[in-house]
Every structure is written in structure tokens, then in C-alpha cells.
Chains A and B, each alone.
Chain A
């Protein structure tokens, strides 16, 4: 490592710090008393250091207000959506990658076309459909539309295509049925791809805004992302800056923890998600 390398690190630390500042500020504000924040947000070093310190915003958040409930809704929706997407994507992905059957090419093409349809282009008809069924304000209304997005199928299909054929053939010679091969042989091999897809879906579910906004009109069915939007649109009447920021921190905690633990998978998942819809 030469001298230039250390200069580069130092030079890069400045933008990196600036990049961190907004997040840091949110966390720091959430640990300051509302009375102080009402006067000024820059008590200690522009408010980036939480002095005077208090954890009251968090205890207040859990004592009253709907944030814990919204958090729970988000967990239910995100876990439900993740399991649902995994179920339909692994099965369809396997069938399209490894089995031969009539109309296969056509189905692949039809699914490819579906990749081009953005959520924003179908949310109105979906809204009227779900209204006809009387499904709005429910968990399945929040979960189902994402299960129809073919990106997971393609992710799994590409993964299964890369597995050598002879593993399957050995099992076929032993007289094992296709469904059993899928369940006992292929699925265990697919764990890394499933992990990527699970994280992609979980992040999407946790962070999605537009569909919950139109589908969940009762506050009881808000996800945390939607709840946070409703808090910030009436700041003035809200419970004070510190508590709003504490809600923001709580809303970000699961995805940030997920990111820090499974960094490689998260980066991979988001890159796949970003590059294919």
C-alpha cells in the first residue's frame, strides 16, 4: 500500500461522512428531548451529537401511538409476501428451467413481457378489482399483487438452469418423481438464490409505498412505511420532532440490520431488483 492509497482513503472519508450525515442526524434527533428540539435542532455540533440525551421518544412511541402496530403489520406483510413469492417463484422457475413440456417457450415470453409492466401502470385497475372483491384493508390485499411479478421466477429459472443435469438424471434413474426431485434435490441446492430473492422481496415489501397508500385506507392496516408518511404530512400537529424521528429510526431498523448482517446478499438482491424491475 503506497502513500497515494492513504490519501485516497482520507479524501474519500469526507464525502462518506457527508453521506452518513442525514441518517446520523435522524438518529441523533430521535434521542433529544422534544422541548429542546422545538427551540433549536443544533444544540451540540449541529445536533449531530445527541446532547442533551433522552430515550423518552422511544418509550413514548411504544406507550401510545400506532407505530408498534404498524411495525407489526409491516412484519406480517413482509414475511407473508416473502413466503408467497418464494413459493410461486421456486416452483415456476424450476418447471421453466428443467422440465420439457408444450408451450414452454410461449410461457417464458409471456412472463418476460410482464417484467415490463411497472406497478404504477396497474395500480388503478388493481384498486378497482380489489374494491370489487371487497379486499381492501386486509393483509392479503397488500401481499397478493407482488406475487404476480415475474422477476422472482426469472431469478430462480436462471439459477436452476446453471445446475448440472446429471444430478437430476441420477435421481430419475432411481425412479424418483419430478416433484420429489424438486423438493428434495433442487430446493436444497437453491438456497443461495432463494436467499437473494427473499431479501429482495422483504425489502420491497417493507419499503413499498404506492400500493399500500391506495389499498390500506384504515390506519389499522397501515404498514410502517405508510404510517410514517401519514405522520410527516401533518408535522405541525404531530407529537414533536424527536418522536417523529424515532419512528423513522424504528421503521429503518429491520432493513438496516438486514443489510449489515447479509450485506452481500442485500447488495446482490438490490442489484438484481434494480436491473430487472
Chain B
């Protein structure tokens, strides 16, 4: 296209010139692998066999999903009464909250969906003479959820309390914030290195301190009762920083006038936190919780390096199981089926995050 004396690219041409490098890598290294992953999950695909002979894969349809998630003689009933009762309770609470309009519609819907899943999903169990085809898959998913269920409230609550306490622009407060954020920049392998030694019953700092008080050391990483707690502690220590920063940003949005008005009514300190800060932080809390769920559902390094999924599979998590199925057992088809399952869960929460984020801005 000619404009004046020189030849220029038109707007459309310029746009494509600028977009091509990204779109090419995006298509090749994200979009294509994504669909290829689904394709692999539909095959009986042995890593080594296919590496030697590309035709060694066999199309099996949804068999991998069946082999991972289903079993023989699976029936539905009240197999885990505690979880299912909790789900029912959640549904009742959601109905109540919807009528009283207390929590915001989106939160209520989210609560209802989670509760319904809690009632419905744990009900599946092998009937008489039946068994799961893969005994480890659902316990692994359960461990992952358990990890999320401990780490997310742990991070969220401590980050919120810290943020509320640190919400002043002074040098000392700034220094304290820096301290709390510092561990966040470390890599997962440094974090696991530190905490492996911290938890060691023979060399660990925790054991050394406990010894002073006359307590016998705990085998944190090899005791079924403590292994999950140990990786949760390391995780909370590691990932508190971002949540704290998000809360600090949320606190900035609360006007100072409200606090001053409340102070006249003698609402200070903890009272002010409960009646003013907490309700005004509702959106930030939702955002932080959703972000943390997405982040921690993908936990891998802590479990892989600190406990190797043990003892007795109590800290085996989904991504580690995918990794092992794919790269130790060479079962890429089954591993991919699990990865698709992971993606669907992540996708669900990403949609929630997108909606919450939109609402916020």
C-alpha cells in the first residue's frame, strides 16, 4: 500500500508481521501439544515402544480413562458418610444463604456446586467382588485435595492476618514484609532441600529444638501421620508472600474513613478487623482462594522430593502420579488421560478465577 512517497506496510500487514512470532510458537508449543495430549490419551502408547517403532501405538478410544477412573462392579451409595454428610450440609447452607442473600450469588453457586460434588462423587465404590482398575488413582486425587484443603486455608488465613497487621507505610513494616516475602522467590528444590533437613529427626532444627524441651524427635517425613503436615508446612512457608501482597492491595482499597467512624463507636483492633476489614476483603479472599487452589492442585516438587509420595502413598499427588505413570512406567496413554483430568479441574477453577477477576475490575 502506498502512502505519500514511501511504501509502508498496511495496518493489517504490520499486525501480522508483529503477531507471527508469537502465534507460531503458541500454535506449535501450546495448542498443538494440548490436542496431541488428548490424542495420546486415546491410545495405548508405551513411551519406549513408540520411541523405537512409531507404529507401536494402538487406538483404544476411551479405554485409558476407564482404566484410570473406573473399575469392575462400581456402585453408588453412601460409601463415605462423613464427606457426603458434609456435602449435604453444604447444600442446605447454600439454600439458606441464597434465600438470605448474604454471600453474593457467585459464591453461593460455587458452594452449591462443590457440595453437590461432595455428595455425589465419593458415593462411587466397588460393589461385591468388584474393584477399581487403578487402585491408586482416586486415593491420589484424594491426597491432592487434602493437600489443597490444608495449604489453601493455611496460606490464606496467615497471609490475611499478616497483611492486616503490616498494612502501614513505615520503614519497619516494609522490612517485615520483605522478610515474609523472601521465601517466595526461592525455587521448589531449595525449599525442599531446606525443609528436608529441617524435618530430619537426627539433624533437623525442629528435632534439636524439641530435644531441649525433652520431647522425642518426630519422623516427620516417614511417619504416615505427619508426612502430609510436613509438606503443607513447607508449602505455607514458601507461598505466603503473594497472598500477603494481594491482601495488602485489597486493604489499600478500604477507605480510612470507615475505620475512623468505627473507632468513634469503639470498634478497634480485632473488632474492627472482624466487622470492617473482613467483609470488605470478601472479593480479595475469593480471588486468593481460587488462585491458591489452582496453584496447589498442581503440587509436585514438595511431594516428589521430600517424601517421594510416601510413606505408603499418603503424600502421593496427582502430578507426581502422572509423572511416574508416564516416565517410570512408560504408560503415556494413561498418564495423558490423567493429565486431561487435571486440565479439566484446572480449567473449571480458571473459569471461576476469570469471572471473579472480571467482577473485581
By a beta-carbon cutoff of 8 Å, the part of chain A in contact with chain B is 1, 5, 8-9, 11-13, 15-16, 19-23, 25-26, 29, 37, 40-42, 46-47, 87-89, 91-92, 94-96, 99-102, 104, 107, 110-111, 114-129, 131, 144-145, 147-150, 153, 175, 177-179, 182, 203, 206-207, 209-210, 213-214, 225-226, 228-229, 232-233, 235, 241, 244-245, 248, 251-252, 255-256, 258-260, 263, 266-267, 270-271, 274-275, 277
Contacts and interface: CB of A to CB of B under 8 A. Distances in A.
Interface string B292-324: 001100101100010000000000000100110
Interface centre among B249, B305, B357, by most chain A C-beta atoms within 10 angstroms, is B305
Contacts of A210: 300-301, 319, 323
A248 B193 contact: yes
24 contacts: A22-B195, A22-B198, A25-B197, A25-B198, A41-B208, A46-B208, A89-B22, A114-B26, A116-B350, A120-B322, A121-B343, A122-B30, A122-B34, A122-B37, A124-B37, A124-B40, A124-B336, A125-B34, A125-B36, A209-B189, A209-B300, A210-B301, A225-B190, A248-B193
Interface residues of B, number: 98
A259 B208 contact: no
A207 B187 contact: yes
A12 B166 contact: yes
A118 B176 contact: no
Contact of A19 (B32, B180, B205): B180
B242 A274 contact: yes
Contact of A99 (B11, B300, B347): B11
A177 B29 contact: no
A178 B193 contact: no
Contact of B178 (A13, A233, A263): A263
A1 B12 CA distance: 59
A128 B40 contact: yes
A13 B240 CA distance: 16
Given A101-B16, A124-B336, A209 B301 contact: yes
Interface of B: 3-4, 6, 8-9, 11-12, 14-19, 21-23, 25-26, 28-34, 36-37, 39-40, 47, 50-51, 162, 165-166, 168, 170, 172-173, 176, 178-190, 192-198, 203-205, 208-209, 237, 240-242, 245-246, 249, 287, 291, 294-295, 298, 300-301, 305, 319, 322-323, 326-327, 332, 335-336, 339-340, 342-343, 346-347, 350-351, 353, 357
A259 B184 CA distance: 10
Contacts of A11: 165
B18 A124 contact: no
B51 A19 contact: no
Given A207-B187, A233-B305, A47 B208 contact: yes
B291 A124 contact: no
Given A120-B319, A207-B187, A209-B187, A148 B28 contact: yes
A270 B241 contact: yes
B29 A147 contact: yes
A258 B197 CA distance: 26
A241 B18 CA distance: 51
Given A124-B335, A270-B241, A41 B23 contact: no
Given A92-B19, A120-B342, A147-B29, A270 B300 contact: no
Contacts of A128: 36, 40, 47, 50, 332
